[in-house]
Structure 1
Amino acid sequence: MSLPELEPHHVEPLAALFIEPAVRAALIEDLGRAGDITTEATIPAAAKARVVIRAREDGRIAGLDCARTAFRLMDPALRVAVQKPDGSDVMPGDIVAAIEGNARAIITGERVALNFMGHLSGVATATRALARAVEGTKARICCTRKTTPGLRALEKYAVRAGGGMNHRFGLDDAVLIKDNHIAIAGGVRAAIESARARAGHMVKIEVEVDTLDQLEEVMGIGCEVVLLDNMSPDTLRKAVKIVGGRAITEASGRVTVETVGAIAATGVDLISSGWITHSAPCLDLGLDFDSLTAS
C-alpha cells in the first residue's frame, strides 16, 4: 500500500534579490576563465535534452529557486518544471523537478544548482527532524547566526522550509547581551540599562544566562527574552518557573534530535540550534539524464 501524499510545508519564497547574486557568483567561480571546456568538447552546441533532479534519500526540499536561477543564468530559455516544491518531503527516487532545453546549458549549470539545493535541503531536513521531535509541546525550533558567510538569508529561508523559525538576522535587528558584554560593561544591570537607553522602542532586549542566580538577577531588572544557555532539563524547568511568563524563554546548547524532546518538555518557548545551519549534512540529490529532445 502506498503512503498518502503529504502537503508541502508552506514557506514564502525569497525575493530574487537574495538569490541571484549568490548563484551568479557561484557560476562565475565554476566557469573560471574559459568556461565548461568538457561540455563544449563533448556535447553539440544545438543538442537539446531533458533531465530530472531526483532525491537519493529521505528529506525535505529547499533551494529550488537557486537551482532555477542557475539554469536560467546559463540559458533563459531553459524550462524548469517543479514537481516537489520547497517545503515538500521526498523519498528516494522521487523526482523533484525536470529541466528541458539546451543540453550544454543544463550540464554546465548542474553542479551549482545541486550544490545550492543539496545544502539548503540539508538545512531544511535537519530542521524538520528537530521540529518533529518537539511536536506536542509549545516549543519552536529556531536558528542562530552560525551561518555560512554570504548565505545567511538562504540558510534562514531553508530553516523556515524545514518548519523552524528565525532568530535575529544580524547584529542590527535585536539586542542580545551575552557574557562578554556583561563582563566588559561592568555587570548585568549596567549592560541592560545601557542597552535600554540606546535601543529604539521597536528593538527587543535578550539576555543570556547560564545559572539560576543570574536569571533571578536579570528578572529583577527586566528584559523581553532570556537565553538559558547549556542548562540541564531539570534546571530549565526551574528557570521557566522563575520567569513565570514575564519574558520569552529560549534554551540553547547541547541540542540534538535525542535531547530536544526533553528540552521542549520543560516548557521553554524557543529552542535555538546552530547545528541546523552550520553542520547539517547535504541532502543527496542527483541530476539524471531522461531523454534527448527535438531541436
Structure 2
Amino acid sequence: MDPVIAPPPAASVEADVARALAEDLGSGDVTAALLPDTGDCARLLCKEEAVVCGRPWFDACHRALDPDVRIDWHVAEGDRVAAGTVLAELSGRARALVSAERASLNFIQTLSGTATATRDYVDAVRGTGARILDTRKTLPGLRLAQKYAVRVGGGVNHRIGLFDAVMLKENHVRVAGSVTTAIAAARAQQPSLPLIVEVETLEQLREALAAGCDRILIDDFDAQTRREAVRIAAAAGAARVPLEVSGGVDLEGVRAIAADGVDCISIGALTKHVRAIDLSLKLGPPGRTG
C-alpha cells in the first residue's frame, strides 16, 4: 500500500473497536470462560483472492482484550493475495483470542471487501485517466473506515460528509430557481469550500461552466449525451472543469464510460453493496483443524 494512505486517527479506530466489542461481549464471553486461560496461537486465513484491508482494526480488537498479544503479519495493507494465504499469525491468551475473533474478522472482512471491489474498478479503468470515487452511501458508523478502504483499493474519496464540500443537486437547484443562482449563493456563503454541481441536461452543463464551479456531476447521461458533455467541457478552455459520472455504473460498463473522456466516476456500490471477504481465524499451530 502507498505509505501516504494513512488510516483514520487511532482514537477513531479505537472507538469503532470499543463499540464492536461492547455489542459482542456484553457482560462477558460465557463460552470463552470454559477455556483454560493459557497461551495459544492462531492463524488468520484468507479463503479467496482479495485486497487486504483493515489491519489497524483487527490489531486493535485483539490488543483491547490482550495487550500482550503478538501479531505477526505476513502481508501488507493493500496487498492482493491469493486464496489460501495465511495473512497473520497470533499468539496470546486463548480466551482473548477467541473473544476477539468475531469482531476482528468483521472489520477486516468488510474493509477488505470494499478495498477489493474498489481495486477491481480501478483496474478496469486503468490507462484512461478516469478516477474512481466513493460516495456517502456508507455503513452507519463506519464511514471513515470504509473511505480508508476505498483509498487502500486505489480509489479517491469524494466529500467525507455534508461539511467539507458544497454539492448542489436537483433539489437545491429547484429551490434556487436555476443553476446560476444556486452557484452564486453557494459561492457567497461558502467561498473556501469545493463546489460540485449536478446537472441533468446539456443546457444546465453550459450554465454551470459559465457560472464556475470545481466539478460537474453529469448524472444518468446516456453515452451519446455524455460524450457531448465531454466535448462541451473541453471547448470551454484549457482550465477545464472536471466531469464526474454517477448513477447506473457497474464493473462491466465502467471502462466504456471512462473511455468517453470523463474525469471521475463515483460508485456507491463500493461501500453500499459490500460483500465481505471469506476469512477465518484458526486456533492452534499449523496442521490443526480446530
Shorter-chain TM-score bucket reads over 0.9
**Does residue 214 in structure 1 map to residue 204 in structure 2?**
yes
Partners of 1:154 and 1:95 in 2: CA distance: 23
- Note the C-alpha offset of 1:200: 2.9
Partner of 1:158: 149
**Does residue 137 in structure 1 map to residue 134 in structure 2?**
no
Q: How does 1:220-235 map to 2 (within 5 A)?
A: 220-235=210-225
- Note the C-alpha offset of 1:290: 3.2
Of 21, 30, 54 in structure 1, the residue corresponding to residue 45 of structure 2 is 54
Amino acid aligned to 1:239: A
- Note the C-alpha offset of 1:220: 2.1
**Does residue 289 in structure 1 map to residue 280 in structure 2?**
no
- Superposed CA offset, 1:83-128 (max 9, x none): 1121011111101111111010000000000000010000000101
Partner of 1:113: 104
Q: How does 1:160-239 map to 2 (within 5 A)?
A: 160-201=151-192, 203-239=193-229
Gaps of 5+ in 1: 1-7
Partners of 2:190 and 2:7 in 1: CA distance: 31
- Note the C-alpha offset of 1:280: 2.2
Partners of 1:217 and 1:206 in 2: CA distance: 13
- Note the C-alpha offset of 1:9: 5.2
Give the TM-score of the pair, scaled to structure 1: 0.92
**Does residue 272 in structure 1 map to residue 263 in structure 2?**
no
Partners of 1:208 and 1:40 in 2: CA distance: 56
- Superposed CA offset, 1:248-294 (max 9, x none): 111111111101000100111111000000112111111112329xx
Partner of 1:67: 58
Partner of 2:32: 39
Partners of 1:149 and 1:233 in 2: CA distance: 34
Partner of 1:104: 95
Quick check: 243-252 or 71-80, which moved more?
243-252
The answer to whether the Cα contact below 8 Å between 1:9 and 1:88 also exists between their aligned partners in 2 is: no
Partner of 2:231: 241
Partners of 1:85 and 1:287 in 2: CA distance: 18
Quick check: 90-99 or 118-127, which moved more?
90-99
Q: State how many pairs are aligned.
A: 281
Amino acid aligned to 2:225: T
Question: Would the alpha carbon gap of residues 200 and 222 (structure 1) be closer, same or farther in structure 2, given more than 3 Å must change?
Answer: closer
- Superposed CA offset, 1:210-259 (max 9, x none): 22122122212221110011112222111111111521111111111101
Give the TM-score of the pair, scaled to structure 2: 0.94
Partners of 1:264 and 1:188 in 2: CA distance: 26
- Superposed CA offset, 1:31-90 (max 9, x none): 112x1101112x102x21111111110110110110100000011011111111210111
Partners of 2:67 and 2:231 in 1: CA distance: 57
**Does residue 14 in structure 1 map to residue 4 in structure 2?**
no
Amino acid aligned to 1:109: A
Amino acid aligned to 1:37: V
Amino acid aligned to 1:92: A
Partners of 1:119 and 1:85 in 2: CA distance: 17
The answer to whether the Cα contact below 8 Å between 1:9 and 1:163 also exists between their aligned partners in 2 is: no
SS of residue in 2 equivalent to 1:141: strand
Partners of 1:240 and 1:17 in 2: CA distance: 43
Partner of 1:257: 251
CA-atom RMSD in angstroms: 1.3
SS of residue in 2 equivalent to 1:239: helix
Amino acid aligned to 1:232: D
- Note the C-alpha offset of 1:134: 0.2
SS of residue in 2 equivalent to 1:160: helix
The answer to whether the Cα contact below 8 Å between 1:142 and 1:270 also exists between their aligned partners in 2 is: yes
Partners of 2:183 and 2:16 in 1: CA distance: 37
Partners of 2:151 and 2:76 in 1: CA distance: 14
